[in-house]
Amino acid sequence: MRKHYLVLGAAVAALTACGDQLQIDNINNPDVARAYSSPAGVEGVAAGLGVQVFNTQRATESVNTQAKILAGESFATVANFGMAARAQIPRSAISNELGNDNQVGNRANWDQFNRTMRTAANAIAAIAAYTAKGQTMGSVAQDSRAKAFSYMMLGESLGYLAIAYDSAAIVVPTTPTSEIPALSGYKDVGKAALAMFDSAVAVANNGATGSGGFPLPSTWINGQTNLTSANFVRLVRSYRARIRVAIARTPAERAAVDWVSVISDATNGLTADFTVNIGSGSGWSATYDTNQMYVSGGWHSVPLLYAGMADASGSYSAWLGQPRDSRRAFLVVTPDLRWPQGATRAAQQSEAPSTSSVPPSGRYFVNRVTGDDVPIVGWGESYYDHRRYKALNVASISGAYTDMSKTEVDMLAAEGYIRTGNLAAAAALIDISRVRNGLPSIGVPASATAAFSSAANCVPSVPQAPSFTSAACGNILETMKYEKRMETAYTGYFGWFSDSRGWGDLVEGTALEWPVPYQEMQARFQTAHNGTNRAPKGTYGF
């Protein structure tokens, strides 16, 4: 890019040497200097950060799409977006060779989050520069609002890079625009992300209210009309809890998380699902979660390695007893109201009898129309599709999309309580989601390892060591994990993947992170490396 600018500069110099040449500025071309040349321009830059961070997370061509496959959240037979390659068991390493088959997806999130990170840092620095000159966007509160929002977007960009990649550059508001920072390991990138969230909270709590201050304009996070300074801080704390936990690569790293801080943030975080309006010409989109995965013919199904734990009929246990590559689809019969109800496939299909049918309110899964089944032999075969956003999908992909559910935040606190020994507090949070969805209360277990019920029809039913060829009732941690999986499927960023990575639940050999894309390493005149950090056989013996 730098070379292109040099060439362009030479061309402009040559033209301006001719005094009789007509000179017209093309204001449709990106002009960074012009964007930052006034306080209003800087506010416009800050206002545009939200859609960049949001859309990047949900792009079809991305490591997030690949992560859904690796985590058993989704299954696909088509080769697009690296999905078929990531669905294979035994797993393969993440190739980062020149021209590898998944180079576009491996790089897409890297480029977008880095770009947004730099833009957010520049916006904060520009606001500080105008403040030093005694200028404002209209008021001190208005400046603080833009600065707090930019800090949150900077924290998210850094945090999501730390979650996905083994290393990244750290850019903060004091980083000169001409500087290209060296790569830092994911732990340090994660620490920088948390520091930016700290700054977002501090700015919002001090001087961001008043004329021109909070609440945020509804276009900054589309459809959110009540992001007062207090609600904004709750949102930041929820993101901070999510990212603090999600960075961990192994069970040991997850156990070492500062769970006291997670509990504090989560219990002072969201009080309801946080949604964003997409579509309707807004520019906000969730292209994979609400569109591409709704295409029939192998683009998506719900594999049963983890989702099958919903079954209360014994079929999941019998399925585990079959050789992995001989397993076939089975009927999930469960009291969990997020799943279709009925003891036969026909009964379950009657809830959504066509591909355009919107399932009953509260149903996240459907038993698909038989004619849309894709022949698969082995563990990936399933009758089920995730259709939480079907109403949005049929409404021209327009409506409210869940960026972060209240249950996700509750389960972050619940995990913290389990790890710090407060089982009663954890059980109370888990029960909120369970009971709402037709499952019985777990009560307060005698210990963290005790199964919550001795009933044969418990949910979740989890694979049992040492053979992992049958399933039985889960303990309080497994119950929390099940609720979190059900409520975070196709929301957020790297949800199932980062959780299963930290819990030690991934399929043996699954990559734990993506390497810095080879294109970036070439630009830095460094040697590219493959992703070789991989999961051992874990909790469920997969």
DSSP string, 215-268: SPPTTTTTT-----HHHHHHHHHHHHHHHHHHT--SHHHHHTS-HHHHHHHHHT
pLDDT at 16 exceeding the cut of 70: no
Residues 525-542: what's their mean pLDDT?
A: 94
* Alpha helix (H) residue ranges in 60-169: 63-70, 83-87, 103-132, 140-164
Q: Are 314 and 343 in contact (CB under 8 A)?
A: no
Q: Are 304 and 324 in contact (CB under 8 A)?
A: no
Report the alpha-carbon distance of residue 130 to residue 256 in Å, rounded.
42
| CA neighbor of 180 nearest in space, from 526, 464, 425 | 526
Retrieve residue 466's tokens: 């040492």
pLDDT at 63 exceeding the cut of 80: yes
Q: Where is 400: in which H helix or E strand?
A: strand 399-404
Residues 265-294: what's their mean pLDDT?
A: 95
Distances, alpha carbon 127 to alpha carbons 144, 176, 197, 215, 332, in Å: 9, 15, 18, 19, 55
What SS3 class is residue 461? strand
pLDDT in tens, 313-326: 999 999 999 999 99
Exposure of 237 in the CB half-sphere (CA atoms within 13 A): 25
Residue type, 98: L
Retrieve residue 375's tokens: 């022949």
What SS3 class is residue 199? helix
Q: What is the DSSP letter of 326?
A: G
User: Cα–chain-centroid distance for residue 393?
Assistant: 20
What SS3 class is residue 103? helix
Report the alpha-carbon distance of residue 392 to residue 381 in Å, rounded.
26
pLDDT in tens, 80-115: 999 999 999 999 999 999 999 999 999 999 999 999
Q: Are 203 and 235 in contact (CB under 8 A)?
A: no
Residues 136-146: what's their mean pLDDT?
A: 93
pLDDT at 9 exceeding the cut of 70: no
Q: Which residue has the higher pLDDT, 178 or 502?
A: 502
- Long-range Cβ contacts of 218-225 (<8 Å, 24+ apart): 219/47, 220/46, 220/47, 220/50, 220/149, 221/50, 221/54, 221/276, 222/50, 222/51, 222/276, 222/277, 222/278, 222/282, 222/284, 223/275, 223/276, 223/277, 223/400, 224/274, 224/276
Of the ranges 187-196, 208-217, 439-448, the best mean pLDDT one: 187-196
Q: Which CATH number fits domain 38-289: 1.10.150, 2.60.40, 3.40.50, 1.25.40?
A: 1.25.40
Report the alpha-carbon distance of residue 239 to residue 190 in Å, rounded.
12
Report the alpha-carbon distance of residue 431 to residue 67 in Å, rounded.
28
Retrieve residue 171's tokens: 């850019």
pTM over 0.95: no
Does the CA dihedral 105-107-110-111 come out positive or negative? negative
Which residues does 207 contact at the CB level (< 8 Å), separation at least 6?
140, 141, 144
The residues spanned by each domain of the chain are 38-289, 290-316+324-385, 405-507
Retrieve residue 363's tokens: 């149903």
Distances, alpha carbon 301 to alpha carbons 365, 371, 482, in Å: 10, 14, 18
pLDDT at 381 exceeding the cut of 70: yes
pLDDT in tens, 294-316: 998 899 999 999 999 999 999 99
Residue type, 248: A
Residues 273-282: what's their mean pLDDT?
A: 96
pLDDT in tens, 29-50: 556 667 787 888 999 999 999 9
Mean pLDDT of the chain: 92
Report the alpha-carbon distance of residue 298 to residue 276 in Å, rounded.
28
Q: Where is 138: in which H helix or E strand?
A: none
pLDDT above 90 coverage of the chain, percent: 87
Cβ atoms within 10 Å of 141's Cβ, excluding its own: 19
